[in-house]
Structure 1
């Protein structure tokens, strides 16, 4: 058996955009991933579906798996010849016990690599508008752990910290000890008006910041019910937070959006939402697969000259149609007398990439609207071909079946519903749906949740109809486009921001 290997990967503070390129590459190739509670959901979704995932979930006051057992798990999996990633929040060597986890591997000669991560000690203050160093305010930076090893009575040397003068102090894992830390610094001689901050769930949509002084911070944090995970920053640089604040000022800053697009269509929507400041959670539970040995399609392709119109309701259908023409060795010039119809811009673009001009696309990007337009344009003797998903309701085919049109609807692909792990969805989250199939996939994955609490943004009426079956709170995009869907997300987010500020 080939020897395995362990990679200690720093996942950063939570935002998947802050994971290093090397960290992402290693994670996607891992056969086993041993991860912590503080690793962001967006990063966990980068793990390959086939990988074995082991949650060792350490968080304040609760160690699901003790450190010694974590060390043993890494060794056991590596000795089985596997590629093992130990995925840790922040950086593995900054109070991350990375050194402890290497000791057992070294004893047994197991190869390993370290992939540093962006530490929350710098990134979380940055997301709160706090530069941990600034020449006008501080001459040094000190990072201190507020959490001690079990059984260790050693306390923080507050006198030495207070004597540092113009400095920035960052306390990690110290939320539970906030009162002790502030009191200890004051008693050691630090000016009680020194600016201080506690930063909760930094870099996520639920980020909250409380800026005060070391004398008032514990009381203010209690008023705001600040919890973990969080870090404490002490120093004059905290006074810059209001001036330099930026994360919440983004259009979707503070919004958490669950994207349910199929795997091969998720990138555009997710990227646009992320660029606007949203925390994006991917839930890609569907994929498409061309129907194998599709005799019905093959028969149609060999008589394609008989059709005056060829209509597409999706990019997937376009690709399968043209790929099948090639596979059947049918010359594309056979389409010279055909007119092409597309349900919307993305489908039109897919057709035109093949060198074909689209004759008709409706102003409103719905299957029914495409059907209405073709019914008005097609002559009674025109044969119309519609390419649809298998065993799925098609607005386009449904409309044309009741119109005075010689239509043939041919299924060309199956929608595959894949198993997904449930993600944590809060009532304030927004869930986007781009088809009825994504609604069904979501329901199958999140089967134990109360769907009446789901704030659903749907791309069209057929999608909204499916969501309504489960009692979701529904908003429908004005147009069946990704940009229109995002506009609705922004509207809902703005309303949510208003209510959060009011509270």
Structure 2
């Protein structure tokens, strides 16, 4: 029997940008992923679609799957010959019980690797403007677990910690024990004016911090209703938080933006939002695939030279078209008499990668604008081919049909919907939609959600019209571009969302 292998991967504190390069590479090759609740949604999105995903739901004070059972799952999956990734928040060996998981692997002779992660003990304070070490303020750093082993009565040695003098103390998993921790430090002789902080949901858009003293922190945290996950920092370095604050000062700092794009599309929108400081949640409930045994399309390809114009409203259609030419052994030189049109820059780029120059692209990247432009240039005898997704209403086809253009519309790919099981939409989230199909995907893949509370930013009126069917709160970007969409997100984030926010102009929808 072939034995698999286990990788213990530290996922970091939550921000997907803090996952190590090796961690990402290993995760993307996983056949089985066993993950904790504290792993960021952006990192969970990196799991392969084909991987078996096992949530063990571990977070402070709540283990839906016992540690012993987790250890057994790793062994069971590895013995099936699988590449197993044990994805843990922070670092596997810093109060992550990684050592316990290795013990059973060793007993069964299962090979493994450790991929260290960035610990929240350093990264979360950094995102709060707190350097855990500073030459003028501290001579050491000490990381303590505030969560004791079940049944263990041994308390933290506060006297030894206080005796360290000018140091930084970081307590992990200690939010529930905050009053006891502060009391213990004071009773052990710590100056009651020592700066202290509690940091909630660090590195996410919802991160919060309370900066006080070791004497006042419990009461201040209670007033602010601080909860888990969180860490406690005690030491003079906490006094630097306001001076060194940076995360919330980014253009989209504090914004959580949901990007709805197909899994097989690289999203420049997500990258730009992330670089502006947003917590980006990739919610891709769809993927595309060519229609199998597409006899209608094959028949069209055999007479492709008869078409004067070939219109593309998506990159997917471009790839399906040219790949099909190759599979049907049709020489690309047979296209010498064809003119090519693209709805926008991304689609144009996909065509030009195939060595074909685009003859027409509208100034405004909407399907309706593509249709109007083509209708104005075609001759009565010209045959026009439009490649569309299966069972999708196309504004290009609708307009050209009404204009009595000699048109052939052929479905060449289908959109597959998957039920979302990982992403929870919060009322303060901003959800972006670049086309009507992304709205449909969102609606079909989300369960148990009140769409009336969804703050939708849409490209084009057609997209907005689809969102309006479900009562979403809608803002429409001024132009059908990613940059214009981002400008609308920034405006909403700056003013705070209002149900009566003014709508911005725009028509149609961006390329699918």
- How would you bin the TM-score normalised by the shorter chain? over 0.9
Correspondence list, 1:47-58, <5 A: 47-58=47-58
Correspondence list, 1:40-189, <5 A: 40-189=40-189
Q: CA deviation at 1:310?
A: 2.2
- Secondary structure at the residue paired with 1:113? strand
Distance in 2 separating the partners of 1:166 and 1:466: 60
- Uncovered stretches (5+) of structure 1, i.e. residues with no partner: none
Aligned to 1:436: 436
Distance in 2 separating the partners of 1:353 and 1:61: 53
Deviations 1:58-101 (A, max 9, x none): 22332212223322333333333333222211111111111222
Assess if the C-alpha contact under 8 Å between 1:317 and 1:387 holds in 2. yes
Q: CA deviation at 1:377?
A: 2.2
Deviations 1:257-308 (A, max 9, x none): 2221011214322222211111122221222222334333333334334333
Distance in 2 separating the partners of 1:82 and 1:360: 49
- Secondary structure at the residue paired with 2:496? helix
Assess if the C-alpha contact under 8 Å between 2:417 and 2:445 holds in 1. no
Distance in 1 separating the partners of 2:352 and 2:311: 13
Assess if the C-alpha contact under 8 Å between 1:260 and 1:266 holds in 2. no
Distance 1:242-1:5 versus aligned 2 partners, 3 A rule: same
Count matched residues: 499
Q: CA deviation at 1:231?
A: 0.4
Distance in 2 separating the partners of 1:332 and 1:493: 48
Distance 1:320-1:70 versus aligned 2 partners, 3 A rule: closer
Distance in 1 separating the partners of 2:59 and 2:325: 56
Distance in 2 separating the partners of 1:311 and 1:108: 59
Q: CA deviation at 1:252?
A: 1.5
Distance in 2 separating the partners of 1:307 and 1:50: 39
Q: CA deviation at 1:169?
A: 0.7
Correspondence list, 1:383-394, <5 A: 383-394=383-394
Range with bigger deviation, 379-388 or 366-375:
379-388
Alignment pair present for 1:370 and 2:360: no
Range with bigger deviation, 306-315 or 92-101:
306-315
Distance in 2 separating the partners of 1:235 and 1:498: 40
Distance in 2 separating the partners of 1:382 and 1:58: 63
- Secondary structure at the residue paired with 2:265? helix
Distance in 1 separating the partners of 2:85 and 2:322: 41
Range with bigger deviation, 180-189 or 379-388:
379-388
Distance 1:498-1:480 versus aligned 2 partners, 3 A rule: closer
Distance in 2 separating the partners of 1:122 and 1:136: 18
Distance in 1 separating the partners of 2:72 and 2:390: 49
Distance 1:407-1:73 versus aligned 2 partners, 3 A rule: closer
Aligned to 1:209: 209
TM-score by length of 2: 0.92
Distance 1:176-1:88 versus aligned 2 partners, 3 A rule: same
- Secondary structure at the residue paired with 1:421? coil
- Secondary structure at the residue paired with 1:149? coil
Distance 1:239-1:154 versus aligned 2 partners, 3 A rule: same
Range with bigger deviation, 223-232 or 411-420:
411-420
Assess if the C-alpha contact under 8 Å between 1:422 and 1:446 holds in 2. no
Range with bigger deviation, 448-457 or 312-321:
312-321
Assess if the C-alpha contact under 8 Å between 2:419 and 2:446 holds in 1. no
Assess if the C-alpha contact under 8 Å between 2:41 and 2:422 holds in 1. no
Distance in 1 separating the partners of 2:35 and 2:296: 48
Distance in 1 separating the partners of 2:306 and 2:403: 20
Deviations 1:22-73 (A, max 9, x none): 2222222333322222111122222223333222222233221222332233
Distance in 2 separating the partners of 1:4 and 1:361: 51
Q: CA deviation at 1:419?
A: 4.0
TM-score by length of 1: 0.94
- Secondary structure at the residue paired with 2:443? helix
Alignment pair present for 1:483 and 2:480: no
* RMSD between superposed Cα atoms in Å: 2.1
- Secondary structure at the residue paired with 1:263? coil
Alignment pair present for 1:241 and 2:224: no
Aligned to 2:232: 232
Assess if the C-alpha contact under 8 Å between 2:128 and 2:199 holds in 1. yes
Aligned to 1:292: 292
Aligned to 1:276: 276
Correspondence list, 1:457-472, <5 A: 457-472=457-472
Aligned to 2:503: none
Aligned to 2:339: 339
Distance 1:402-1:274 versus aligned 2 partners, 3 A rule: same
Deviations 1:6-29 (A, max 9, x none): 222211111111111222222223
Assess if the C-alpha contact under 8 Å between 1:8 and 1:113 holds in 2. yes
Assess if the C-alpha contact under 8 Å between 1:467 and 1:474 holds in 2. yes
Distance in 1 separating the partners of 2:332 and 2:36: 54
Distance in 1 separating the partners of 2:225 and 2:254: 18
Deviations 1:80-124 (A, max 9, x none): 333322221111111111122222332333322221111100010
Distance in 1 separating the partners of 2:160 and 2:395: 72
- Secondary structure at the residue paired with 1:485? helix
Assess if the C-alpha contact under 8 Å between 1:128 and 1:245 holds in 2. yes
Distance 1:82-1:346 versus aligned 2 partners, 3 A rule: closer
Distance 1:437-1:215 versus aligned 2 partners, 3 A rule: same
Q: CA deviation at 1:127?
A: 0.8
- Secondary structure at the residue paired with 1:264? coil
Distance 1:185-1:230 versus aligned 2 partners, 3 A rule: same
Distance in 2 separating the partners of 1:327 and 1:444: 33
Deviations 1:120-158 (A, max 9, x none): 000101111111111111111111111111111111111
Distance in 2 separating the partners of 1:175 and 1:351: 55
Assess if the C-alpha contact under 8 Å between 1:380 and 1:404 holds in 2. no
